[in-house]
């Protein structure tokens, strides 16, 4: 590619930082710059990138913070010696669901930026409201109830939009905004998502929503490829639905679309080429699946404080406990997502209980936990006649499934499918190490079955590969159980891109948007250029027939466990 080849810039505008990554046409990273919101910003009084109003369970971020951050990252790239004139394309990833409210002066101000001044200095008047509701906001219960009821049921809302109503989803957030900030709403010319806000700054006018990120609003009818008028009507509240349509704008289908050239401001201030092209920015989760040529039937498991599971699939099988989005680049595919509240933290509780019993290993905090996972047989069945031991471990209230915090232990007999809520035969807390890892993975297998394909005759449907990302991906004991429970005909891999997955995905999207041949898919282009030996490592076997079948029986028991606990909880609250 030489030192004069084109470069592509991908941004990740996330909760706590803005990051910019520059890659070459052959996907090599040339520069990375970060602006940490808490550490590097001035004047906002934020904590972990946001402000909160606990009385109303509101979480929101100052939009001006992101303007300051964008100048900050571009300046850092300049200091690193980036030759901006080589940047041929820009795309981005934004934290999902957050909305930005533009004023009537927005277009005029965006068009008349002066190179001597920062974005923050010049765009103050461009917003009808200074804050963007954040994905951690939980102020919209009333609005969610209205959204869930609007089409008859949560199931129907999920069928139409890919998700039931969630506090953070933008439709319920807009409805609340029309009520709480009705004057600001009246003075709003356009509404952006965080992703399209970022693209708008570079374009110098308001960019359309991205075809995948628009599915995080509870407003987009995925099958029809259009807004759902009934939901728009609801979201517009006391205002006109036609007016809301204008505020939201059109949604182009092509995720690699040329949205236009970079605004003159960036050419004059940072010496970008006037030919630099803006490609739609998408959500951070859709961008994550673009950090590698994820094939349909491949799964990504992000093992952080919470667990996120992402898949690319041709099957659209919505359910109130899961999410479907349009795939960010490839028509006909969907992104399937599971977002748990419990994950790493829940495993830490069991780890600490084990350490309290057997004594801490100071050299490796996970040593005792991992040993317990590896020494305990699958489902804690010491002999074939033993019952399977399984449980639910939720130190925090969970959404998949919707249950309060708690712990439940069961013994399951796969022969007669009988289930008993008990700790009989459990060696607590040691057996819980295996049981918690299994329960998290059984939940993924339960909810993703039907989305995977059989890799060949006689072999059950399962992911082709399972990619682990995030903090827990280093843990080989978890990786081993992941392969046993989920399968993965080619194995379990660790994706080694640090915390750069979304920014890389965004940069790769820009490469694809501008270098694709007619009709060439993202997976094909990136698949040809990606050097997998640099980015991934196989860390565990995937499909092993016998144990995969055993977990197949266990999934049935696990489904019963969840149903029983849900029924018990409903009965407790008089909803039986």
Q: Distance between CA 103 and CA 120 in Å, rounded?
A: 15
Q: How far is the CB of 410 from ligand XUL (least distance, A)?
A: 30
Q: Which DSSP state fits 215?
A: G
Q: Which is nearer to ligand XUL, 128 or 312 (CB)?
A: 312
- How far out from the chain centre does Cα 324 lie? 11
Q: How far is the CB of 97 from ligand XUL (least distance, A)?
A: 5
Q: How far is the CB of 487 from ligand XUL (least distance, A)?
A: 26
302 to each of 285, 373, 427, how far by Cα in Å? 10, 19, 29
Q: Which stretch binds ligand XUL (CB under 6 A): 94-102, 145-153, 383-391, 455-463?
A: 94-102
Q: How far is the CB of 72 from ligand XUL (least distance, A)?
A: 20
Cα torsion angle, 295, 297, 298, 299, sign: positive
The reply on whether position 96 binds ligand XUL by CB under 6 A is yes
Q: How far is the CB of 264 from ligand XUL (least distance, A)?
A: 32
Q: Are 180 and 228 in contact (CB under 8 A)?
A: no
Q: Which is nearer to ligand XUL, 100 or 126 (CB)?
A: 100
Burial of 142 (C-beta count, 10 Å sphere; 0-12/13-18/19+): exposed
The reply on whether position 387 binds ligand XUL by CB under 6 A is no
Q: Are 66 and 57 in contact (CB under 8 A)?
A: no
Q: How far is the CB of 96 from ligand XUL (least distance, A)?
A: 3
Q: Which is nearer to ligand XUL, 159 or 163 (CB)?
A: 163
Phi then psi dihedrals of residue 231, to 5 deg: -75, -35
> Could you say which of 22, 294, 339, 392 contacts ligand XUL (CB under 6 A)?
339
The three-point CA angle 105-110-111 to 5° equals 105
> Could you say which of 17, 68, 91, 95 contacts ligand XUL (CB under 6 A)?
95
Which parts of 109-138 interact with ligand XUL (CB under 6 A)?
A: 135
Q: How far apart are the first and last CA of the chain?
A: 65
- Beta-bridge partner residues of 23: 8, 29
Q: Which stretch binds ligand XUL (CB under 6 A): 95-103, 455-463, 538-546, 568-576?
A: 95-103
Q: Which residue is nearest to ligand XUL (CB)?
A: 96
- How far out from the chain centre does Cα 378 lie? 30
Give the up-direction half-sphere exposure of residue 421: CA atoms within 13 A in the CB hemisphere.
10
The reply on whether position 342 binds ligand XUL by CB under 6 A is no
Q: How far is the CB of 14 from ligand XUL (least distance, A)?
A: 6
Which parts of 490-529 interact with ligand XUL (CB under 6 A)?
A: none
> Could you say which of 88, 97, 129, 341 contacts ligand XUL (CB under 6 A)?
97
234, containing H or E segment: helix 229-235
> How many residues belong to the site for ligand XUL (CB under 6 A)?
9
Q: Distance between CA 11 and CA 18 in Å, rounded?
A: 7
358, containing H or E segment: helix 344-358
- Closest to 286 (Cα-Cα) out of 411, 196, 185: 196
Contacts with ligand XUL, 274-313, as mask; x by CB under 6 A: ---------xxx----------------------------
Q: How far is the CB of 168 from ligand XUL (least distance, A)?
A: 5
The reply on whether position 11 binds ligand XUL by CB under 6 A is no
The reply on whether position 326 binds ligand XUL by CB under 6 A is no
Cis check: omega of the bond before 401, within 30 degrees of 0: yes
Q: Which residues bind ligand XUL (CB under 6 A)?
A: 95-97, 135, 168, 283-285, 339
């Amino acid at each position: 590619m030489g030192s004069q080849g084109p470069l592509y810039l991908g941004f990740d505008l996330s909760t706590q930082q803005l990051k910019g990554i520059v890659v070459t046409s052959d996907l090599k990273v040339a520069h990375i710059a970060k602006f940490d919101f808490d550490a590097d910003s001035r004047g906002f009084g934020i904590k972990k990138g946001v402000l909160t109003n606990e009385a109303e369970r509101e979480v929101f971020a100052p939009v001006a913070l992101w303007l300051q951050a964008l100048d900050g990252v571009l300046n850092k790239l300049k200091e690193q010696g980036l030759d901006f004139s080589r940047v041929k394309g820009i795309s981005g990833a934004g934290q999902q669901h957050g909305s930005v409210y533009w004023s009537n002066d927005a277009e005029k101000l965006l068009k008349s930026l002066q190179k001597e001044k920062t974005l923050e200095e010049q765009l103050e008047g461009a917003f009808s409201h200074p804050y963007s509701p954040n994905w951690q906001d939980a102020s919209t219960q009333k609005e969610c109830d209205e959204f869930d009821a609007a089409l008859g049921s949560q199931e129907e809302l999920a069928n139409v939009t890919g998700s039931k109503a969630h506090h953070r989803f933008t439709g319920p957030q807009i409805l609340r905004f029309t009520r709480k900030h009705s004057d600001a709403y009246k003075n709003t010319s356009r509404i952006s998502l965080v992703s399209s806000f970022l693209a708008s700054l570079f374009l110098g006018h308001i960019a359309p929503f991205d075809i995948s990120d628009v599915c995080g609003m509870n407003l987009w009818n995925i099958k029809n490829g259009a807004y759902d008028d009934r939901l728009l009507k609801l979201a517009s509240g006391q205002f006109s639905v036609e007016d809301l349509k204008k505020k939201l704008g059109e949604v182009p289908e092509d995720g690699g679309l040329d949205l236009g050239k970079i605004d003159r401001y960036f050419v004059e201030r940072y010496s970008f080429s006037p030919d630099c092209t803006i490609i739609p920015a998408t959500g951070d989760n859709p961008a994550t699946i673009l950090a590698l040529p994820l094939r349909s039937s491949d799964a990504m498991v992000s093992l952080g404080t919470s667990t996120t599971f992402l898949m690319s699939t041709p099957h659209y099988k919505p359910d109130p406990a899961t999410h479907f989005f349009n795939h960010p680049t490839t028509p006909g595919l969907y992104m399937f997502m599971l977002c748990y509240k419990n994950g790493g933290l829940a495993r830490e509780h069991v780890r600490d209980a084990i350490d309290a019993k057997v004594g801490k290993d100071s050299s490796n905090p996970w040593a005792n936990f991992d040993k317990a996972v590896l020494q305990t047989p699958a489902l804690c069945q010491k002999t074939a006649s033993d019952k399977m031991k399984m449980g639910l471990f939720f130190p925090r209230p969970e959404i998949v499934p919707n249950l309060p915090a708690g712990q439940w232990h069961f013994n399951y007999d796969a022969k007669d499918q009988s289930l008993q809520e008990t700790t009989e035969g459990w060696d607590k807390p040691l057996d819980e190490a295996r049981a918690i890892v299994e329960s998290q993975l059984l939940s993924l297998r339960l909810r993703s079955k039907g989305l995977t394909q059989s890799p060949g005759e006689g072999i059950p449907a399962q992911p082709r590969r399972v990619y682990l990302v995030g903090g827990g991906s280093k843990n080989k004991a978890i990786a081993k159980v992941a392969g046993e429970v989920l399968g993965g005909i080619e194995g379990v891999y660790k994706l080694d891109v640090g915390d750069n997955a979304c920014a890389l995905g965004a940069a790769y999207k820009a490469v694809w948007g501008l270098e694709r041949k007619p009709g060439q898919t993202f997976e094909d282009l990136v698949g040809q250029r990606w050097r997998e030996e640099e980015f991934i490592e196989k860390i565990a076997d995937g499909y092993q027939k016998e144990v995969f079948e055993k977990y197949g029986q266990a999934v049935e028991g696990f489904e019963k466990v969840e149903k029983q606990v849900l029924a018990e909880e409903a009965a407790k609250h008089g909803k039986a």
